[in-house]
Structure formats: structure tokens, C-alpha cells
Amino acid sequence: MGYQEFWHPYREEVKERFALVMERLEQIGTEETVEEPFRAYFRQAAMHLCRLGRLEEEIYGGGWENRSLKDWKQQNQALYQEITPKYYNSSYGNPAYATAQLGEAYGKLLGLLYADLRSLIPYAFEGRNYEITIFGELLVQIYNCFEQEKQPDEKAVQQIIYWFYHDYSEIFTEISVLAQNSPELDFYVQVIMESDLEDLRYLYRYGAYITENEIKIAEFLNRMPEADIQKMADTYTEGYRIGFEVTRKDLSKKQFVDLRYPIGFERMMRAAVKNFKKMGLKPVVTRINETSFQGRGNGNRSVESTSPNRQYEYDHKSDRAAYLDKALVERRLEVLKTVYEDRKEVAAFYAGPAVVETFGEDGFEPENCPAAYQFDDKQQKLNVYFTSQSMQITNTYIKGEERSFTIIAYPIPQIGPKFEEIFAETIKINTLDYKLYQEMQQKLIDVLDEGRFVHITGKGENTTDLTVALFPLEEPTKHTIFENCVADVNIPVGEVFTSPVLKGTNGHLHVTQVYLNGLKYTDLEVDFEDGMICRYSCKNFDTEKENLAFVKDNLLKHHNTLPMGEFAIGTNTTAYKMGVDYQIQDKLPILIAEKTGPHFAVGDTCYSWAEDIPMFNPDGKECVARDNEISRRRKEDIKEAYFNCHTDITIPYDELDQITVLRQDGTSVDLIRNGKFVVPGTEPLNQPLGG
């Protein structure tokens, strides 16, 4: 079964409905049965869907080849232009504009709907007219309400949207689960493997927003020697394979590898697909989650491109608040379990994601939009509950102890005029001599294993003063506290990490500026008491209320508190030097940034859902610090054990004073002093630091 055959039943189901709804939407463009200002809104929304319908028919009627590269570029710009920063202030996609034009009662709801309609753009290019049809019917249903003499009650409009998502939740959930284990859903793989990569029209085949970043990276990779492309692919796929090997998981049981990559990297991905095939793995690509129902703006795109406007995504990240309630959450969980149960034998073949990330975009410091939806306290708890329950269901069918992952990152042209130099440096960083790092990191671990606590202090404007409690090591000849992390699942090399003991982990963590999950935090401060966050703040906004809400929503992920799930010491001073030399410290992804200093993760441990799987370092010692007082609750009540988030906060070397190991007998030894490594045998790590 191929891609179009897979969608055929859906397309047949709505074949007549698609034609009817397109005809009705065309009529909305000329009717005057709805009063202003709503008439203008519905006309624009209907015009957007009509454009998508015509595009879908053109592409799947064989018209793709009839358009030039220039045509597709203009089409792409036309589809996304209105939400780009230049035009955003006059777009219904802007909650502030929507409420100003349509009133607060309707503006937020219709703005949410408008954003959901815009999320369908990639579906037109995939030939998924099923979704275009049902969202078109939703728009017509709401339009009909406004055709009445009396304007509809806001609650009536909200209920239409609510029941739409309730009734179609089965379809949306089924498609997302099927994508994990259905190689026939191969639209993206076809683009990778069958496109003429020299003909850059292929970039527009995704229907995603395409900028100079995607164009230039594709051109750059097209110019690279085949040997360099193969080296990049080998680093990526070998990291994946080694991830199974070091965790002693059986890769031969698996059949599907989940590809996640940036548009423009298709040449590398083509080589990677061939590598995975040799391992017995077929590529799958999970669907793009961009509707409010699925979690717009949560960073879960499988195939990435440059955002047309990150403020737009930030403004709509909580749109689900318009209709989220306990009944809908339970419905989603019921459907998720049913879909997995129906495909439980196939779901077990899912091996996990293989991720390529990019970095180099300008930093983003969001602005608060009062007109945007926000989750209330009850809904925040529902989000936490849903995330926890859905992870439990998923883990039942795709067991954490049997899957793995890998992740690697490369720069994009937006990083600056020295892009090609930085790209070459990144390849160097991603392929550093892991044996050398393994040996130096082991020397650090040998000292850390003597400790009961580690004391970390900042310098200059950094006020960090934090003590981390370590797992008590009873058999040092067989066991170790820290994992020696080289280039496998987390590429590049360069860290040792552990799950801290919560009781006794106390103090103050401070970073003057940091980007976490794409958002800038200014003077982020987090205090811990027995390993749990007891206070937090930042200075992004003018009021304390806004700052606290920003940290809770985006760092604590709506939880009231989180544990310190990981303490690590990054050793990749070469990556740190690259950041300093090219002045791109603020653009490094967390994957690399976490290797450029000590970091502290809030949320689950690195071993969440797999704590009972033995983990061994290259020296043969078992790493026994795999859980903490919270994750151990899984043995009594699993829903109390996990927070389903993990965010690393790194202190850069230039803000770091000392890291000192405190032994049980009261003696101490420094690992880092004045930002430099002082353990004998680790001196090469200081060379990039100028010492």
C-alpha cells in the first residue's frame, strides 16, 4: 500500500462532501447575509480554504510539474504572508487584531478557528482533503449561526468547536498513532528518496514555510562532496545504533525508525535512510501537529522549517483553553488506548526517533498578548493529567525500556555570514574523538564517585550557590554514580551526568541569559529545597505576575513544582569555544549548549520510563543513580512518578566559579576552579578555554 492508497478511504468518504463544501465556501465570498465586521472575517477564512482546496486538486491532478520554481516560491509566500511580522498586526491570526475587529466575545474564538484553518496548509500538499473538508464544514456551520437575525451566543459558537473536536478526536488520534508504525504513510520519505534534489521545487512540496534558510542549506548540501554527506549520515545513524548497543536493547526486534529533520537536509537524510535500511529499519515520519487540538506551538513538528512568526505560534500555544475540559481529555485518552490496542503488535516494532535539529535563528523573546487564550488552573492540571496518562498508555505499547533515540544538530544560514565555517566546525564537534573524551570524563567520574555532595558556585553577575546530593555508592568497584556520555544518543560528546538525590539538594541556580525551548529567559533564578523547586523568577516582563506565569507555563510546564532530574558537567569546551569565537552562544541548541558547562535539568530524570534497565559505562561499571525519590513512586502509583518534561539549564564556563566534590569524611576536592578543569588528566579540556 502506498501513500495515496492509504488515504483513499478517507478521500472517498468525503468525495461528495468536499465538492459541496468548496461550492458553499465560494458562495460565502459573495454573499451579504452576515453583517459586518463578521462578513469580512468569514470571507477571508472561506477564501483561504478555497485556495487550499484548489491547490490540493491541482497538485493531485498532476499539475505540480506545470509550475516553475518561481511560481511555487510566490505561492508559498502568498500562503504565509499574512502572519509574518510585517503583516501580523492586520491578520485575524493575531488575537489582538481579531478581538479588536470582532469584539472580545467572538474575536478569541474566531481567531482560534482562523489559526486552525491556517494549520491545514501542509495537508493540501499531502492530498489530505479529508481534513480540509471537515474544517470547511465547521466554518460553514459557524457561518450559518451568524446568518440568523440575532447574533449567536458566544457559548453556542464555543460548543460547536468543542463538539467538532470531540467527535473527530478518534480520527485525529488514529492518524497520529498510525504514523508511528505505517511505512506506507511515506509522503515525506517520497520527498527524500524520489525528488531531484538539484531541482529546488521539491522544497515547496511539503507545504511548509520556506525561506532563504531552507534554500541555502539545500544548495550548500548539494555542493558538498558525497564523502562529507555520508560522514554526516553515518554519525547520525551510528549514534542511533550505538544507543541501543550501550543500553543493551535489542534493535533486531524493531522495524521502524522515526525520522525528524529540517527541510533542506534531504541529501543527508537520503543517505541516512539507506543506512537505516541496512540495519533492517524502515523510515516513518510522524505527522505535523499544528491544530489547537494536537498542541499548536509545542515544538512537536517532525519536519521543521523556519517559522514565519514565532510570536504567532506563542500567541496560539494555549488555544485549546477555549474548549478543554475533563470529558474531552477522557475521550482523547479512551481513543488513544483503543487505537494502540488495535495495533499493539505493530506498535511494538517502533524503535524511537532519530532527530536532526538546526540552530542559528535569532533569539526570540516573546511578548504577552492579553487577547490570547491562557489555561486556567483547572485546565493546567488537566494538561498535566493528560500528558501523564497518555505517556503511560504509549509506554504500555511502545515500551521505554525497549526503544531509544539519537539527536544531532547543525547550523542554518541565518546564523550569519560565516555559516559555512560554522557548519564545518559543527561537523568537527559532532565527530570529536570520543575515546579521548571518554578517558578524560572517566577521570572526572572517578573523583565524583568519591563524593556525597557537589557544590557549584557562579562568579561575576552569576549568583549560583547550589549543593547537589549524590547517590551513596556502596560498591565502587562494580558501580558508579555518573554516566560517561560519549557520542551516541546525544551527539556531540561531552558530559557526565547523574540523577541527584533530592533530599539534601538545596540552593540557588541563576543564569543571566538563557534560551530554553526557543524562548529567551533573562536573569532566570530557580531555588531548590530538598531537590524540589520552591521559588522561581525571571526579568522578561515588567510585572512579577507576568514573569511568574511565563516561567510556570514554559519551564515548569504548568506544574506547581518540579524536581531536579539531572545534574551534569559538560566537557565539550571545543563547542564552547566555537560559540565564543563566532559570538553565537545564544544560538547554540540545548543539545550543544548543555555540553558547554554544568547543567541542571528540571523534570524527570534522563532514565524516565526505563529506570529498571541496567546502564553500564565503558569501564563496565553499572550506573546505579538512575532514579530519585519521585521516580521510585512508579512502583506504587505510576501516575505520581513522572512529570513528562525535562529541561536543561546550563551555566556557561564564563559564569562559573567552582565545582567542588564534598566527601563523606568532610574533605573536598575541586573539579573546576575559576572556570577551568583541575583534575589531573583533564588538562586538554582547558585548551579551548585559553588555559
HEC secondary structure over 170-225 = HHHHHHHHHCCCCCCCCHHHHHHHHCCCCCHHHHHHHCCCCCHHHHHHHHHHHHCC
Least confident of 3-17, 194-208, 227-241, 389-403: 3-17
Residue 379 pLDDT: 94
Place of cell 511580522: 85
pLDDT 10s digits, 411-441: 999 999 999 999 999 999 998 888 899 999 9
pLDDT-derived band at 8 (thresholds 50, 70, 90) equals low
In a domain, 615, yes or no: yes
On the question of pLDDT at 281 being above 60, the answer is: yes
Q: Provide, rounded to the nearest whole percent, the portion of the chain with pLDDT above 70.
A: 97
Best CA proximity match to 669, nearest among 438, 444, 436: 444
- Asked whether residue 259 is assigned to any structural domain, the reply reads no
Q: What is the pLDDT of residues 485-539, one digit of tens each?
A: 876 678 888 999 999 999 999 999 999 999 888 889 999 999 999 999 999 999 9
C-alpha closest to that of 284 among 190, 394, 183, 403: 183
The mean of the pLDDT values for the chain is 92
Final residue before a domain boundary, out of 133, 157, 175 = 175
Task: Decide if pLDDT at 232 tops 90.
Answer: yes
In the structure, what pLDDT confidence band is assigned to residue 289 with cuts at 50, 70 and 90?
A: low
Weakest-pLDDT range from 288-297, 350-359, 465-474, 495-504: 288-297
d(CA 93, CA 77): 16
Q: Is the pLDDT of residue 479 over 90?
A: yes
What is the average pLDDT across 177-182? 84
pLDDT grade, residue 246 (50/70/90)?
Answer: confident
When mean pLDDT is compared over 51-65, 79-93, 238-252, 506-520, the highest value belongs to 79-93
Residue 161 belongs to a domain: yes
Burial of 687: CB neighbours in 10 Å, binned 0-12, 13-18, 19+: exposed
Least confident of 182-186, 367-371, 374-378, 531-535: 182-186
Predicted local confidence at residue 639, as pLDDT:
81
Residue 689 is predicted with a pLDDT of 84
pLDDT band at 3 (very low <50, low <70, confident <90, very high): low
What does the chain come to in residues?
A: 691
Between CA 410 and CA 419, with CA 416 as vertex, the angle to 5 degrees is 45
Rounded mean pLDDT, 75-102: 97
pLDDT exceeds cutoff 60 at 175: yes
What angle separates helix 326-342 from helix 154-178, to the nearest 10 degrees?
Answer: 20
Which pLDDT does position 101 carry in this prediction?
Answer: 97
Task: Give the residue from 140, 175, 210 where a domain finishes.
Answer: 175
Retrieve residue 420's grid coordinates: 559555512
Task: Flag whether pLDDT at 406 surpasses 70.
Answer: yes
Tell me what pLDDT residue 434 has.
Answer: 81
Strands 495-498, 483-485: parallel, antiparallel or unpaired by DSSP?
antiparallel
Which has the closest alpha carbon to 672: 664, 490, 689? 689
Structural domain boundaries enclosing 56: 3-175
Tell me: the pLDDT tens digits for 110-133? 999 999 999 999 999 999 899 999
Residue 317 lies in a domain: no
Q: What is the pLDDT of residues 595-617, one digit of tens each?
A: 888 999 999 999 988 888 888 88
Decide: 656 and 570 in contact? Cβ < 8 Å: no
Residues with Cβ < 8 Å from 492, sequence gap 6 or more? 408, 429, 430, 431, 432, 572, 575, 592, 595
Task: Read off the pLDDT of each residue in 367-391 and give the average, rounded to a whole number.
Answer: 92
Which one has a higher pLDDT value, 589 or 624? 624
In a domain, 652, yes or no: yes
Total structural domains in the chain? Answer: 2
Can you give the pLDDT at residue 297? 64
pLDDT of residue 638: 84
Q: Evaluate whether 391 touches 337 at the Cβ level (below 8 Å).
A: no
Distance CA 296, CA 115 (A): 9
- The residue out of 139, 154, 175 marking a domain boundary is 175
Residue 327 in any domain: the answer is no
Which pLDDT belongs to residue 4? 65
| Residue 180 pLDDT > 80 | yes
Asked if residue 691 belongs to a domain, the reply is no
| CA 113 – CA 266 distance, rounded (Å) | 33
Which parts of 431-559 fold into alpha helices (H)?
A: 434-448, 544-554
Give residue 436's identity as a one-letter amino acid code.
Answer: L
Query: Is 170 domain-assigned?
Result: yes
User: Look-up: residue for cell 498535566?
Assistant: 384
Asked whether the predicted pLDDT for residue 468 surpasses 80, the reply is yes
In this prediction, residues 103-108 reach a mean pLDDT of: 92
